[in-house]
């Protein structure tokens, strides 16, 4: 069965790497089923990253996410959540360079904060994050079919 995951191209990667990342996403067999460019509001960034609310880097993370336009994507494929995580590589680009040099974060991330891309950590989070950014997709599809 197909799965959805939320992928975000973060602002520091948008200018130089956006097209490469989109091309590689399609080459790996994902369908881009929703797409939206936006500068997240503080409220949205806080909600997106609520699982990290207690972390020492939370405020820095929210500040950074609001600093420029991000590309929000819904990627659809079998096992999409896990496959997008593999494509991104580890959160820390320094670690990614050692363990998975082909990964997006190894090639395009600068440091553990500015790591170029985001992906949902599990199926439950994927559903919540997609709902937050895009609203109820299945309802929209039903509406457009009538
Ligand atoms: P992302 O996959 O978007 O999910 C959480 C984000 O928090 C992560 O990528 C980084 O941008 C950021 N992050 C994770 N760990 C740290 C850290 N130790 N210091 C600063 N930012 C971090």
d(CA 70, CA 12): 9
Domains contained in the chain, number: 1
d(CA 13, CA 17): 5
Residue 67 lies in a domain: yes
Q: Sorting pLDDT into bands at 50, 70 and 90, what band is 144?
A: low
Backbone angles phi, psi at 32, to 5 degrees: -90, 105
Residue 145 lies in a domain: no
Residue 49 lies in a domain: yes
Contact criterion met (CB below 8 Å) for 120 and 80? no
Which positions are catalytic?
A: 118
CA of 114 to the centre of ligand 1 (A): 8
CA of 44 to the centre of ligand 1 (A): 16
pLDDT of residue 109: 98
Mean pLDDT, rounded, for 101-130: 98
CA of 49 to the centre of ligand 1 (A): 9
Residue 88 structural domain: 2-134
Assign residue 19 the CATH number of its domain. Answer: 3.30.70.141
Ligand 1 site residues, Cβ closer than 6 angstroms: 49, 52, 57, 60-61, 91, 112-113, 115, 118
pLDDT of residue 146: 46
Q: Which two tokens stand for residue 32?
A: 């881009």
What ipTM describes this predicted complex? Answer: 0.96
pLDDT of residue 137: 75
Each residue's pLDDT tens digit, 39-83: 999 999 999 999 999 999 999 999 999 999 999 999 999 999 999
């Amino acid at each position: 069965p197909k799965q959805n995951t939320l992928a975000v191209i973060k602002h520091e990667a948008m200018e130089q790497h956006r097209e490469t990342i989109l091309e590689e996403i399609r080459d790996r067999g994902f369908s881009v089923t929703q797409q939206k460019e936006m500068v997240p509001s503080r409220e949205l960034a806080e909600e997106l990253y609520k699982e990290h609310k207690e972390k020492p880097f939370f405020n820095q993370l929210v500040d950074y996410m609001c600093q420029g336009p991000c590309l929000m994507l819904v990627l659809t494929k079998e096992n999409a959540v896990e496959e997008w995580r593999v494509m991104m590589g580890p959160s820390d680009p320094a670690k990614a360079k050692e363990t998975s040099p082909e990964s997006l974060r190894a090639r395009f991330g600068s440091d553990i904060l500015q790591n170029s891309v985001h992906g949902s950590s599990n199926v439950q989070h994927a559903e919540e994050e997609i709902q937050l950014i895009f609203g109820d997709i299945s309802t929209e599809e039903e509406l457009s079919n009538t």
